[in-house]
Amino acid sequence: MGPCSSSGFYVSRSAALLLAGLAAAILLALAVLAALYGHRARVAPSEFHNCGVSDAGPSPPDELGESPSGRKPDPTREPAVAATPDTWRPSGPWDQQRLPPWLVPLHYELELWPRLRPDELSPPALSFTGRINITVRCTVATARLLLHSVFLDCDNIEVRGPLSLGNGNATVGRVPVDNLWFALDMHYMVLELREALQPGSLYELQLSFLGPVYQDTREGLFLNFYTDQGERRVLLASQMEPTFARNVFPCFDEPALKATFNITIIHHPSYVALSNMPKLGQSEKEDANGNKWTVTTFYTTPPMPTYLAAFAVCDYDHVSRTERGKEIRIWARKDAIANGNADFALNITGPIFSFLEDLFNISYPLPKTDIIALPNFDDRAMENWGLLMFDESLLLQPDDQLTDKKMVISHVVSHEIGHQWFGNLVTMRWWNNIWLNEGFASYFEFLVMNYFNPKFPGNEVFFSNVLYDILREDHALMSRAVSMKVENFTETSEINELFDLFTYNKGASMTRMLSSFLNENLFISALKSYLETFSYSNAEQDDLWRHFQMAIDDQSKIVLPTTVKSIMDSWTYQSGFPIITLNVSTGVMKQEPFYLEKVKNQTLLTHNDTWIVPILWMKNGTTQSLVWLDKSSKLFPEMQVSDSDHDWVILNLNMSGYYRVNYDKLGWKKLNQLLEKDPKAIPVIHRLQLIDDAFSLSKNNYIEIETALDLTKYLAKEDEIIVWHAVLVNLLPRNVVSDVSDYDIYTLLKKYLLKRLTSIWNIYSTIICENVAALQDDYLALISLEKLFEAVCLLGLEDCLQLSRELFKNWMNHPENEIPYPIKTVILCYGIALGSDKEWDFLLNIYTNNTKAEEKFQLVYAMSCSKHPWILNRYMEYAITTSLFDFNETNVIDIVAASEVGRYVARDFLVNHWQAVSERYGTQSLVTLMYIIGRTISTDLQIMELQQFFSPMLEEHQRLTAHAKLQAIKNENLKNKNQSARIAAWLRKNT
């Protein structure tokens, strides 16, 4: 989507006639019209970005793909509109984000003709043309119509009606269109009619249009270039969510305005066209140059929002199967289909559909499902009804079976299929409740996985994939609620920003918590009622709570402290999450908001509200009855513990509640003693929870760091790699790999951890050496092995270093002997770090001949691991002087500077090459480099020296930003230095 102007302009038929008839007074006429209308475009008529108004019926777009003005759209060009300020146009509904409720769309007849040809693989500015008829119902008498349109050249606007319902919607009249203008800031096309439309009557809006196909962005209609069967090829696909349908055709582009669609795509005969529904028929069309095109029409869709309309034009192959009489097809590159890379996705898709159909007792309403693997799809995956789109990396199973890719594919496919009910069948009324789509689809990923894999470690995987990230981002200040009461965002870009961790991860966590304090039968029963009631319609958060409340009221077993709405509103409308602190001596439990780096006067900033917190808990290994903390503090005598070694309490069973847990000193001591004596008495998910909660709380000043460190004493007995992953992430964060400047603490950590790592290391190094295939279905191992190997090699265990040498050397000599994927990044890095230019040149050659983006990044990172300054210097020279390294791939200078040796090499390199670096990566990259190189600063003198070094390279505003950032880095380092001193003291005492 191109940049929008901040105002609109008028194009009046009467004004055009006036100007033509008064040529001698044209300047005066323009001045008068400017005063009257306030914001007419000040450009030549042939350059207007507008729609024409005609008395004739709709005419087809020009056969050459041009607009009626003879101009083809340029996707890189801003509209040729010299618009004047908003204050020059009358205020009205075009100043609001939401469409006025004057018209309700019922049906779209849409024809698209993208001019994509297989012999034009590098079109400078590909365009598409189209025609659309929109049947609408008028609800309020109005002589002004608003609908969405962005950068579309339009012609032949007609408003027909009222329609005669008794005669096949035959037109019984026409409403003349006097004026047409655009409010570009809100993406509106505004039609001024000569007479008002009548409430209750149906009308048909007709127009032709032309627009750009994008190459550098995945919005609206866009191109993907790729290689298949040794040839360069191109395909066209669409992405409409959230507000990009208006880039493709004029429409009522809001989620609540559902309508049916009849879609026609005109395309080159060598391509196949796909859309939401099955193909209805095909015919042939000839353009003005005698070229033949195929016209593919599709069956009518169910009512759906514009953001679910989907199109693809491609030269792909497919595999297919039938599930309950409905065809499922996976479309991908012909090479990928021939290699069987789509088979896994195909085999799981049908059973997932069947499981969810049975679970909700609602059949999937479409007769087919197409899933297409796009070579490059920024949005990762999209749930369009009947035509799901995926980035191929998330859909196709690679030849190397030893990856976590099967699990990733299972999750993503489950998520998008879940949307067929949550989002497609029932759609949120407005984007402020997008979590009703994404949060529930994210939750049902895990329900599907648990169903098909009974041994699936669902709690641990949910923590790793969902909770871990969001608990680090969410806090009481400077974060947002999962749902917002304000519906009217001021900018369209604000809608795009809602697709974030809060919508997905926090939304899934809210759903999981709701399910946990109910029982599964009640949870699913309420959802069935909700889905049935709002099928093919729209809902908001309160509608969902109402159906849960109905389910609660129809039974007596589960009793809640208040309504479902009151409970869930306390979570969805409030930013952050609580810390629940239990004093096991008294049984007093309290809640407080979680802050980053809590300070003593934090109470001045606390929320006005508390959360209504479900507390699932365990005492002495036995699950206890649910209790509720519905105020800031409450007494639970049953949670008191005695002095007995066997008396202990853990809150937040299975980490199903969205909060962190703290205990008094006795509570932590009891758990620490139990871990040392019998760690298996505490379930894996809670060993994981204790480590993660304790280190997070200590980092943010809620407990002492020593309390968290005490929990690690038992680790020699820990054989669960996911728990070790949490330990290593906290004690050996990634920056320690390059910032071992405090050699004292490094030596202490090495001695302390290696002693405890021996057992877990022996288990997995043996598997890697003897039977690596045994890891194929161990998802937790696949996602944790890299951190384990990285840590052990960092700590200098010779077994790890030697294994790295051997695996790298074996791969060099026999490339068919692939390095096991889960540890490939680590092995490549240490293979280079322990090697010479021979190993480095070998990796460069592999990089040059590699086409997979994920693997290329692995190689770029690995080549920065060299300990030889001259190799790193040569590496950076290659990056700025050759075309080997893609501009969009990564900044090689940044990656080199991130290593301990590379920090100094990169600094010297910039002295002599900073102009070339800025030309290659942009001036902003220098600010990033400043942060990376200065990440260890701890004094104002160091800040000054770094600023003096970078000052000639930075612009003035960048210097101010950099200074503030460096001050923040210094303060963070000083805080960490104090923390490190305490860690070192504890390690000396306990090593």
The ranges assigned to domains in the chain are 102-315, 317-420, 429-572, 577-597+609-713
**Angstrom distance (rounded) from CA 78 to CA 848:** 37
Per-residue model confidence (pLDDT) at position 857: 86
* Percent of the chain predicted with pLDDT > 70: 87
Name beta bridge partners: 390.
Answer: 373, 381
| Nearest of 309, 208, 213 to residue 250 by alpha carbon | 208
| Ranges of the chain whose pLDDT falls below 50 | 1-85, 601, 604-606, 736-738, 740, 887
Cβ atoms of 312 and 235 closer than 8 Å:
yes
Look up residue 56 and give its amino acid.
Answer: A
Cβ atoms of 128 and 113 closer than 8 Å:
yes
Q: In angstroms, what CA-CA distances link 701 with 234, 602, 663, 690, 722?
A: 54, 11, 14, 16, 25
| Nearest of 724, 694, 787, 301 to residue 536 by alpha carbon | 301
Cβ atoms of 625 and 617 closer than 8 Å:
no
Per-residue model confidence (pLDDT) at position 941: 87
| Nearest of 856, 849, 812 to residue 832 by alpha carbon | 812
Topology classification of domain 577-597+609-713: Immunoglobulin-like (2.60.40)
Per-residue model confidence (pLDDT) at position 913: 86
**Angstrom distance (rounded) from CA 562 to CA 244:** 41
Q: What is the DSSP letter of 309?
A: -
Say whether 577-597+609-713 and 102-315 share the same fold. yes
Q: What is the DSSP letter of 287?
A: -
Per-residue model confidence (pLDDT) at position 56: 36
Task: Tally the C-alpha atoms within 13 A of residue 977's C-alpha that lie toward its C-beta.
Answer: 12
Per-residue model confidence (pLDDT) at position 177: 93
**Catalytic residue at 416?**
yes
Query: Tokens in use for 38?
Result: 């306030």
- Could you list the residues known to form a binding site for Zn(2+), using ranges: 415, 419, 438
**Angstrom distance (rounded) from CA 14 to CA 22:** 12
Per-residue model confidence (pLDDT) at position 583: 97
CA dihedral 362, 419, 413, 243 (to 10 degrees): 150
Q: If you search the block for the tokens 């679970």, which residue do you land on?
A: 359
Query: Tokens in use for 935?
Result: 């990440």
Q: If you search the block for the tokens 């729209």, which residue do you land on?
A: 538
- Of the options 3.30.1330.10, 3.40.50.11690, 3.40.605.10, 2.60.40.1730, the CATH number for the domain spanning 102-315: 2.60.40.1730
| Pairing mode, strands 163-164 and 170-171 | antiparallel
Q: In angstroms, what CA-CA distances link 489 with 147, 189, 278, 485?
A: 18, 19, 36, 11
State whether residue 384 is helix, strand or coil.
Answer: coil
Cβ atoms of 910 and 953 closer than 8 Å:
yes
Statement: 429-572 belongs to CATH 3.30.470.20: no
**Angstrom distance (rounded) from CA 810 to CA 793:** 19
Query: Tokens in use for 954?
Result: 């930075």
DSSP string, 170-236: EE--B--EEEEEEEGGGTEEEEEEEEEEPTT-EEEEEEEEEEEPBSSS-SEEEEEEEEETTEEEEEE
Cβ atoms of 336 and 296 closer than 8 Å:
no
**Angstrom distance (rounded) from CA 930 to CA 960:** 13
Look up residue 110 and give its amino acid.
Answer: L
Look up residue 812 and give its amino acid.
Answer: M
Q: Three-class SS string for 74-135?
A: CCCCCCCCCCCCHHHCCCCHHHCCCCCCCEEEEEEEEEEEECCCCCCCCCCCCEEEEEEEEE
State whether residue 605 is helix, strand or coil.
Answer: helix
| Nearest of 482, 493, 451, 449 to residue 572 by alpha carbon | 482
Considering 111, 241, 416, 720, which one is annotated as catalytic? 416
DSSP string, 937-963: --SHHHHHHHHHHHGGGS-HHHHHHHH
Q: If you search the block for the tokens 């728990």, which residue do you land on?
A: 723
Per-residue model confidence (pLDDT) at position 645: 79
**Angstrom distance (rounded) from CA 431 to CA 255:** 8
Cβ atoms of 128 and 112 closer than 8 Å:
yes
List CB contacts of 82: < 8 A, sequence separation 6 or more: 41, 42, 43
Longest dimension (CA), the chain: 103
| Nearest of 24, 253, 222 to residue 146 by alpha carbon | 253
State whether residue 70 is helix, strand or coil.
Answer: coil
Instruction: Residues 317-420: name the CATH superfamily.
Output: Neutral Protease Domain 2 (1.10.390.10)
Q: If you search the block for the tokens 């191929």, which residue do you land on?
A: 392
Query: Tokens in use for 847?
Result: 């990089």
